[in-house]
Amino acid sequence: MIDLPNDLRLALLQCPSLPLDVPANLARLDAFAAQAAAAGAHLLVTPEMFLTGYNIGGPAAAVLAERPDGPRAQAVAAIARQHQIAIAFGHPEHDDVGAIFNAAQCIDAQGQMLARYRKTHLFGDLDRGMFSPGPGDEPLFSFHGWQLGLLICFDVEFPENTRRLALQGADLIVVPTANMEGFDFVAQHLVPTRAYENQLFVAYANFCGSEGDLVYNGLSCVAAPNGTGLVQAGRGAELLLADVTRAGLAAGRALNGHLALCRTPPQKL
């Protein structure tokens, strides 16, 4: 682990999707969690819908959807405990009345669920053909003394989502994503802008390669509160490491006063 207890080392997994092969994805997660933990990471972030694949269609999403505390979450918890690393991961989830959601969870190094989130802004026919929108009212959660929020992919492209979390006091927003070629602007410019305007860190973990007719653009990144990119991946598979620090958070917040000067109240999603 890095020396200062209030600093965090993040590991972002950028890899191809393996659709419909949950056992293989859990095996990959186990291997990458071991690698990330050996590198001193506190938190491993996977892409959107990592455990099942993203471009799987409505019928498959319905079959594979589980409760938040289902077998997949328990398997991830066992991996987290084994390697003593927190894991943020994506998969399809259903509620008590059968609605299906594009979901993300964060499980700590002791295997306890810290938070879960359901995607609010559904991208195109692909998302809308599989999922219902989430409520967008999930609270922040505490991790190693930091306040964290979760978003998923397209959600970060709407400023209301990041501003809602920032006004609650978020220090870091974790974003599992499945962004595609043609949208490089998001990782290269929009994510740093979200970090700058909200005075926080944003960690954005994407797929690479192709999945069916989708070609993912990689470019996973961590952006700092001053708008700079701490790290950015290329187009291929990579385990990206980044240290987010209290000093960097304070310096970014000293640079501008956007949140204190904001006169528009947060809008209900």
User: Which residue segments constitute the domains of the chain, with CATH numbers given?
Assistant: 8-261 (3.60.110.10)
Q: How many CA atoms lie within 13 A of 44 on its CB side?
A: 33
**What is the pLDDT at residue 263?**
76
Beta strands in the chain (DSSP E): 8-14, 43-45, 86-94, 100-107, 113-118, 141-143, 146-150, 172-176, 201-205, 208-211, 214-217, 221-223, 229-232, 238-244
Q: Please determine, for residue 153, whether its predicted confidence score (pLDDT) is greater than 70.
A: yes
The answer to pTM > 0.75 is yes
Q: Please determine, for residue 59, whether its predicted confidence score (pLDDT) is greater than 60.
A: yes
**What is the pLDDT at residue 260?**
82
What does the alpha-carbon distance between residue 142 and residue 268 come to, in Å, rounded to a whole number? 23
Work out the number of other CB atoms within 10 angstroms of the CB of residue 259.
15
Tokens found for residue 82: 């084994």
* pLDDT, tens digit (0-9, with 9 covering 90-100), for 128-147: 999 999 999 999 999 999 99
* pLDDT, tens digit (0-9, with 9 covering 90-100), for 216-227: 999 999 999 999
Annotation marks residue 268 as catalytic: no
Question: Which listed residue (15, 66, 93, 119) is catalytic?
Answer: 119
Question: Which listed residue (15, 106, 153, 208) is catalytic?
Answer: 153
Tokens found for residue 100: 């299906």
Question: Which residues, listed in sequence order, are joined to residue 215 by a DSSP beta bridge?
Answer: 210
Mean pLDDT of the chain: 95
Q: What is the DSSP letter of 189?
A: I
What does the alpha-carbon distance between residue 17 and residue 35 come to, in Å, rounded to a whole number? 19
Q: Please determine, for residue 257, whether its predicted confidence score (pLDDT) is greater than 90.
A: no
User: What phi and psi values does residue 159 have, to the nearest 5 degrees?
Assistant: -60, -25
Question: Which residues, listed in sequence order, are joined to residue 241 by a DSSP beta bridge?
Answer: 11
Annotation marks residue 153 as catalytic: yes
Tokens found for residue 38: 């050996």
Amino acid letter at 88?
A
Cβ within 8 Å of residue 135, ≥6 positions away: 118, 120, 269
Annotation marks residue 93 as catalytic: no
| CB distance 206 to 217 below 8 Å | yes
Tokens found for residue 86: 């927190």
Would you place residue 256 in the very low, low, confident or very high pLDDT band (cuts 50, 70, 90)? confident
Q: Please determine, for residue 120, whether its predicted confidence score (pLDDT) is greater than 60.
A: yes
**What is the pLDDT at residue 2?**
39
* Cα–Cα distances in angstroms (integers) from residue 36 to residues 40, 197, 211, 212, 253, in the given order: 7, 30, 25, 29, 29
Q: Please determine, for residue 113, whether its predicted confidence score (pLDDT) is greater than 60.
A: yes
**What is the pLDDT at residue 1?**
36
Tokens found for residue 254: 């000293």
